[in-house]
Copies of this chain bind each other. A is one copy, B any other.
């Protein structure tokens, strides 16, 4: 029996998904298991699989098959969405030739390697040539994709992480936030200064106990350990595949909160992956809907749900018991004060949810300028310091605490940064609607029961895969387009009690 173009595409994309899944597992292993001496053969494995994947999707027959499938009138809406996502993936891969892919991949590896020592050494000059080369090649990618996608240079890169994401939309929302934040932050800081001090929690906090506690919370959230694991790595992440989700964290025996909040954050990501539509496994339409939605799921769990007094009513006693803590420092009020403390700082990954958007907006503005050629990398340290001062009123004393802190640009992830804050706003918007639809959500969380929240997310987000684009997904789930209002309301309620 002859296969239809659509069926042939399903077969081919299933094979590509298997190759991607293999790569994802090898990445996890590299971070969580691999001994240092395995690095060079692992790099060879990943480079080879990456080129295998690229040649699969750029196979000359794919183009005709896509045309054929798009003309097929018998496809249902999931299948149509599947073809739409296949076309998107094809455009992104076929826009750039194998030589550019490989040149960029090598430049990123080389640049990232230099950055790993340049950062602790506070040596921006050492990292500059690699960064320039990565930016130069990323701009070539942007040009090639810009033409195929019919969008501007920056949006062509943004689209890789945030399908259909456009900077003109982001500008509106980020401007709104940037206007709101400075005065609001002043208010929060003065109210915080007038309130009670954060009391320290007495350690040490053994890693094994932290791990067990993390697993307890993962189980409460609904993480399915038949389809995933919790391990350790230097930088926490959520990897693996939808059927085998590998999350990691890092334990600090002097402070359990970073590992715990990390586990909650990654579990938010993991629940999305585990909840993707089972009948569309291996197909583009069965995968997650880009980075802002993915980040919204982790931030909804970590920030919206688990820095709440309700979560601490449930989790606080478990933490006390696990670490045999006692005294007022372990009461919900102090625990809440600790998890919602606000402070201006230089480092994005250490930032609280109030100041975090400022870090993102700074990077977004700088990378937009760099991609269109308005910012040279040799001028980056000055632009960074000036920008942070404008938005937060502080200036990093060193590049290590400034433009050397994040791996993204040095590793080729240009256009990624806005998804963090888009995710935070999406999380606030989704959580507000979920609580509206199911008023029992917070009360249940106070008893360790996440099922009302998770079933709402499962129905409105996880099970949709890529059936809808991001805009429609959010509109169907919340009745509104993405906007900053819910995020601002959330911040005002939590930090000013108004």
Name the B residues within 8 Å of A40 (CB-CB).
Answer: 243
> Bound complex: CA of A38 vs CA of B29, how far in Å?
15
Closest 10 CB pairs of A and B: A38-B244, A37-B227, A18-B48, A37-B226, A41-B243, A22-B45, A18-B44, A18-B45, A15-B48, A21-B45
State how many residues of chain A have any CB contact under 8 Å with chain B: 38
CB closest chain-B residue, reference A53: B52
Give the docked Cα–Cα distance between A469 and B44 (Å): 28
| CB closest residue in chain B, given A229 | B35
Give A475 Cβ to nearest chain B Cβ, in Å. 32
Contact bitstring A17-55, B, C-beta under 8 A = 1, else 0? 011011001100100011111101110110111011000
Copies in the complex: 2
The reply to whether B52 and A19 form a contact with Cβ atoms under 8 Å apart is: yes
Q: Shortest Cβ distance from A326 into chain B, in angstroms? A: 30
Apart from A33-B229, A37-B224: 4 A-B pairs, beta carbons within 8 A? A18-B41, A18-B44, A25-B29, A26-B26
A38-B282 Cα distance, complex, nearest whole Å: 13
- A33/B35 contact (C-beta < 8 A), A18-B44, A49-B22 known: no
Does A325 belong to the interface (CB within 8 Å)? no
Nearest CB in chain B: distance from A187 CB, A: 47
1/0 contact string of A67-110 vs chain B (CB within 8 Å): 00000000000000000000000000000000000000000000
Answer yes or no: A225 CB below 8 A from chain B CBs: yes
CB of A283 to closest CB in B, whole Å: 12
B14, A44: Cβ atoms closer than 8 Å: yes
Whether B282 lies near A244 (C-beta < 8 A) is no
The reply to whether the CB of A281 lies closer than 8 angstroms to some CB of chain B is yes
Q: Do the beta carbons of B35 and A21 come within 8 Å of each other?
A: no
Contact residue among B44, B228, B244 (Cβ-Cβ distance under 8 Å from A21): B44
- The docked-state distance in angstroms from the alpha carbon of A228 to that of B225 is 26
Bound: A47/B18 CA distance, A: 9
A290 CB to nearest B CB, Å: 21
Instruction: Say how far A152's CB is from chain B's closest CB, in angstroms.
Output: 37
Query: A18 CA to B52 CA in the complex, in Å?
Result: 11
Which chain A residues in 215-269 approach chain B with CB under 8 Å?
224-229, 240-244
Q: Which residue of B lies closest to A15 (CB)?
A: B48
